[in-house]
């Protein structure tokens, strides 16, 4: 696409530069040699410590169109890009990179496209790949489905990214319509890091089209010091692309835009990432964590997709990781995993490491020789069997873990920090079972897993401390059937209800101590709580079925969905509604189909869009008070509550709408409909006050950690082992 440059408006160029002395001169030369002259080139020097400032000063002295903006403290790549864009004044602004090279017509062609397509908010081009010395070695290849696509709307872009990830829109070539960039708010580096560009394309597509020129107009340089290079080497954290897409899919109406096949292919990408990270973790020496990650997701249902060979390769690598872990993760096993993962021989630096020591050596450098030697066996280690094996591999203590949605694991992070302050290690129980983290004295507690306590009780180095009944009996009846046996092995048995209310579910007498479910926060989330653009009613829950019918409230949730779906509408967010819809009674299927919105990437963000939430516990029984009602308080949504009959002993009745006070759903609907702004605000303020009240103290992470630690101290005293407690 070419147009006479003289007839086109002059755009601005925005560049972020950090320690770019090697490639910056060439990049600037290609930007200054454009067929369409830029109105200005704004370079944000992001606190460079090399000769970048001097190079920029030299260019600015001989080119009046170059303006240098200096950050005294680094804002990060996308933060610096945001600042550079906002410092410009042109109607069109190109965001280019300080280490890439640009075709002489890229500015002209991008401006011409935006002039010809007023609905477009941005346009990008294709790129060729160059190495550190500037030699081309490959070119981007568009997926077959996109070879004729010249513009993306929300539907086509989301579908393409689910199928192919972001392999076709690259930040270094983008030109924005300035008004579009301002409208969507720029790059969100704080939340999405290196994938902030993907997030921006998706947000932009909801309001504007995004153009793609099928011409190779810039050279994308790959070298060892660029931001993305370190990100890809034996990466053990989830790729941020998935956080971006999960957030996008939880936006209203987005999931309905894409095909079921695309969602399945996206799941394949996720499982592939998990499997490759598990292989990397094993190569770094922690085979227990590697197996935990492999076990955290299901793959076989994905074999129904069109990419069976991809799924089979994933299954093969997962099996190899398990096998390598089972034989101890030695050199030969790790070499096999490395070959399967990277198609080349295991590097010498990894071959020299083995077992848990390898992870220690890889993760803890010192000033001596670059490595820290494994310490002697600790005197005391605490082990915790979480409420699901999905949290193994210390996942329950990892803020970056996939399972830590909405930071709901913060009570466990607080517990971990409390032990770390005392110099005591705490790990998930899989490290005790496979003996990779044991100490002289090992204290074990379980929050629902029943698989290990009998075998661990036989070991002289293990003390069984406490068992917490962390799930409700309608979902985990086997846990309650095991109570007589548990009382014989554990020092303490904790329950959210008292012995009298447990009696119908337990054979024989039982003695329990009380505890409250620890909550992730003790204050509202201000950006969500303060949101004013709220409408309607929401239900956020997974589609589960009770194993035991006595007292279950799953069916009552379905009745609420049926009523509201037929009277003004309700939105359902959560897992397994589509997959298990045929398990529902026929009367509920159509209301669920009409109401389902998808999985919620951020629970509080979703809650904050609604005035009311159907907030029903899984079971109605004294003491069973979970995070559901408090989640509403965090987000400023008024809960319609059904569950614990003693709820007002802990939460003021002014904080919620009590469904028990209404005879029918019609009565409830009439009550909700007549509530005005003043009444709604009173509920919201009462919820905020509840979190700040003394009544909430038992639900705080500190209260939970205090009890947990006191139990261990008491047991060590009983066994005359005070000397192992720092």
With contact defined as beta carbons under 8 Å apart, do 99 and 223 qualify? yes
Per the prediction, the chain carries an average pLDDT of 91
Q: Environment class of residue 532 by beta-carbon count within 10 Å: exposed (0-12), middle (13-18) or buried (19+)?
A: exposed
Give the CA distances from residue 23 to residues 66, 507, 708, in Å, rounded to whole numbers and listed in that order. Answer: 17, 75, 56
- pLDDT (0 to 100) of residue 696: 97
pLDDT for residue 426 is more than 70: yes
Give the CA distances from residue 151 to residues 43, 95, 124, 377, 401, in Å, rounded to whole numbers and listed in that order. Answer: 29, 19, 10, 60, 36
- pLDDT (0 to 100) of residue 376: 62
Say which DSSP state 118 is in: T
- pLDDT (0 to 100) of residue 507: 82
With CA atoms as reference, report the closest residue to 57 among 90, 25, 22, 94.
Answer: 25
Distance CA(646)–CA(411), nearest Å, equals 24
Could you report how far apart the first and last alpha carbons of the chain are, in Å? 72
- pLDDT (0 to 100) of residue 241: 94
At residue 668 the predicted structure's pLDDT band, cuts being 50, 70 and 90, is: very high
Q: Which residue has the higher pLDDT, 473 or 351?
A: 473
- pLDDT (0 to 100) of residue 3: 57
Share in percent of the chain as helix, strand, coil (round to 5): 45, 15, 40
At residue 550 the predicted structure's pLDDT band, cuts being 50, 70 and 90, is: confident
Q: pLDDT tens across 144-160, in order?
A: 999 999 999 999 999 99
Cβ atoms within 10 Å, residue 188: 20
pLDDT for residue 358 is more than 90: no
At residue 4 the predicted structure's pLDDT band, cuts being 50, 70 and 90, is: low
Q: Which of 223-237, 371-385, 606-620 has the lowest mean pLDDT?
A: 223-237
Q: pLDDT tens across 364-411, in order?
A: 333 333 333 445 668 999 999 999 888 999 999 998 887 888 889 999
Both structure tokens of 447: 């929050």
- pLDDT (0 to 100) of residue 365: 34
- pLDDT (0 to 100) of residue 252: 85
Both structure tokens of 160: 């393409």
Distance CA(706)–CA(290), nearest Å, equals 31
Both structure tokens of 720: 């005359």
Distance CA(621)–CA(642), nearest Å, equals 10
| Average pLDDT over every residue of 75-89 | 95
Give the β-pairing of 120-130 and 209-221: parallel
Give the β-pairing of 120-130 and 136-139: antiparallel
pLDDT for residue 290 is more than 50: yes
Helix 260-283 and helix 331-342, axial crossing angle in degrees, nearest 10: 150
- pLDDT (0 to 100) of residue 254: 93
Buried b (16+ CB within 10 A) or exposed e, 9-30: ebbbbbbbbbbbbbbbebbbeb
At residue 224 the predicted structure's pLDDT band, cuts being 50, 70 and 90, is: low
Task: Provide the sign of the torsion angle of the four alpha carbons 74, 79, 84, 87, taken in this order.
Answer: negative
At residue 231 the predicted structure's pLDDT band, cuts being 50, 70 and 90, is: very low
- pLDDT (0 to 100) of residue 359: 41
pLDDT for residue 664 is more than 90: yes
- pLDDT (0 to 100) of residue 354: 52
- pLDDT (0 to 100) of residue 303: 72
pLDDT for residue 229 is more than 90: no
Q: 553: which residues sit within 8 A by CB, 6+ positions away?
A: 616, 617, 618, 619, 620, 642, 643
Give the β-pairing of 537-540 and 513-514: unpaired
Place of tokens 């990408």: 269
Give the CA distances from residue 332 to residues 323, 341, 345, 353, 399, in Å, rounded to whole numbers and listed in that order. Answer: 11, 14, 11, 11, 32
Q: Which of 44-48, 465-469, 573-577, 716-720 has the lowest mean pLDDT?
A: 573-577
- pLDDT (0 to 100) of residue 268: 92
Q: 426 has which bridge partners?
A: 382
With contact defined as beta carbons under 8 Å apart, do 585 and 594 qualify? no
Q: What percent of the chain has pLDDT over 70?
A: 94
Q: pLDDT tens across 109-144, in order?
A: 999 999 999 999 999 999 999 998 889 999 999 999
Distance CA(519)–CA(631), nearest Å, equals 9
**E strand or H helix that includes residue 564:** helix 554-565
Distance CA(171)–CA(192), nearest Å, equals 14
Q: pLDDT tens across 179-216, in order?
A: 999 999 999 999 899 999 999 999 999 999 999 999 99
- pLDDT (0 to 100) of residue 364: 35
- pLDDT (0 to 100) of residue 248: 95
Q: What percent of the chain has pLDDT over 90?
A: 76
Please tell me the number of Cα atoms within 13 Å of 263 on its side-chain side. 16
| Average pLDDT over every residue of 698-707 | 96
- pLDDT (0 to 100) of residue 404: 85
């Amino acid at each position: 696409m070419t147009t006479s440059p003289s007839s086109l408006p002059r755009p601005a160029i925005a560049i972020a530069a950090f320690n770019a002395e090697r490639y910056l001169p060439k990049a600037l030369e290609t930007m200054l040699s454009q067929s369409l002259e830029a109105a200005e080139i704004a370079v944000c020097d992001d606190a460079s410590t090399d000769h970048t400032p001097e190079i920029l000063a030299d260019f600015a002295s001989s080119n009046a169109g170059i303006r240098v903006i200096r950050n005294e403290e680094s804002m990060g790549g996308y933060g610096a890009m945001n600042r550079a864009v906002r410092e410009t004044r042109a109607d069109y602004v190109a965001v280019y990179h300080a280490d890439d090279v640009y075709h002489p017509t890229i500015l002209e062609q991008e401006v011409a496209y935006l002039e010809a397509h007023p609905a477009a908010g941005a346009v990008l081009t294709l790129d060729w790949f160059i190495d550190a010395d500037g030699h081309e070695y490959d070119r981007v290849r568009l997926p077959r489905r996109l070879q004729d696509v010249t513009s993306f709307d929300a539907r086509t872009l989301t579908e393409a990214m689910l199928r192919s990830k972001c392999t076709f829109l690259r930040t270094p070539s983008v030109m924005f319509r300035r008004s579009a960039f301002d409208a969507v708010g720029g790059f969100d580096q704080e939340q999405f890091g290196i994938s902030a560009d993907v997030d921006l394309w998706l947000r932009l597509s909801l309001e504007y089209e995004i153009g793609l020129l099928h011409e190779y107009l810039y050279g994308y340089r790959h070298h060892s010091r660029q931001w993305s290079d370190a990100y890809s080497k034996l990466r053990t954290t989830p790729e941020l692309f998935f956080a971006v897409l999960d957030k996008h899919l939880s936006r209203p109406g987005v999931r309905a835009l894409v095909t079921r096949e695309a969602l399945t292919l996206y799941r394949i990408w996720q499982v592939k990432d998990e499997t490759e990270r598990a292989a990397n973790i094993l190569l770094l020496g922690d085979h227990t964590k590697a197996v935990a990650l492999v076990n955290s997701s299901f793959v076989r249902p994905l074999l129904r997709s069109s990419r069976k060979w991809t799924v089979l390769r994933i299954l093969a690598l997962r099996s190899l990781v398990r096998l390598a872990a089972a034989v101890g993760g030695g050199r030969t096993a790790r070499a096999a995993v490395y070959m399967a993962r990277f198609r080349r021989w295991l590097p010498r630096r990894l071959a020299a490491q083995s077992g848990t020591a390898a992870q220690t050596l890889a993760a803890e450098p010192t000033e001596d020789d670059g490595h820290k030697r494994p310490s002697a066996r600790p005197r005391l280690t605490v082990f915790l069997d979480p409420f699901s094996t999905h949290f193994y591999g210390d996942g329950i203590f990892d803020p970056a873990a996939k399972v830590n949605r909405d930071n709901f694991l913060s009570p466990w992070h607080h517990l971990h920090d409390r032990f770390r302050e005392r110099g005591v290690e705490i790990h998930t129980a899989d490290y005790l079972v496979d003996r990779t983290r044991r100490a002289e004295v090992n204290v074990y507690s379980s929050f629902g897993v029943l698989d290990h306590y009998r075998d661990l009780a036989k070991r002289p180095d293990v003390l069984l401390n406490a068992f917490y009944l962390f799930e409700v009996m309608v979902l985990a009846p086997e846990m309650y059937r095991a109570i007589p046996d548990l009382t014989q092995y554990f020092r303490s048995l904790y329950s959210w209800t008292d012995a009298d209310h447990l009696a119908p579910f337990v054979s024989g007498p039982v003695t329990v101590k009380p505890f409250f479910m620890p909550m992730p926060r003790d204050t509202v989330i201000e950006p969500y709580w303060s949101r004013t653009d709220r409408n309607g009613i929401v239900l956020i829950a997974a589609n589960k079925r009770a194993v035991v019918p006595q007292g279950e409230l799953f069916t009552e949730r379905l009745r609420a969905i049926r009523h509201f779906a037929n009277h003004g509408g309700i939105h359902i967010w959560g897992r397994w509604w589509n997959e298990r819809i045929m398990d529902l009674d026929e009367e509920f299927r159509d209301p669920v189909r009409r109401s389902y919105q998808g999985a919620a990437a951020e629970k509080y963000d979703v809650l904050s869009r609604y005035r009311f939430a159907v907030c029903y516990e899984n079971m109605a029984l004294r003491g069973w008070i979970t995070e559901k009602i408090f989640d509403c308080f965090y987000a400023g949504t008024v809960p319609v509550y059904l569950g614990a009959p003693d709820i007002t002993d802990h939460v003021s009745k002014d904080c919620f709408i009590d469904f028990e006070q209404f005879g029918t759903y019609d009565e409830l609907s009439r009550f909700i409909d007549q509530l005005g702004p003043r009444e709604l605000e009173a509920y919201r303020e009462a919820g905020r006050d509840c979190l700040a009240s003394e009544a909430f103290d038992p639900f705080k992470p500190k209260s939970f950690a205090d009890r947990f630690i006191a139990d261990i101290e008491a047991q060590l005293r009983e066994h005359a082992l005070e000397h192992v407690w720092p």
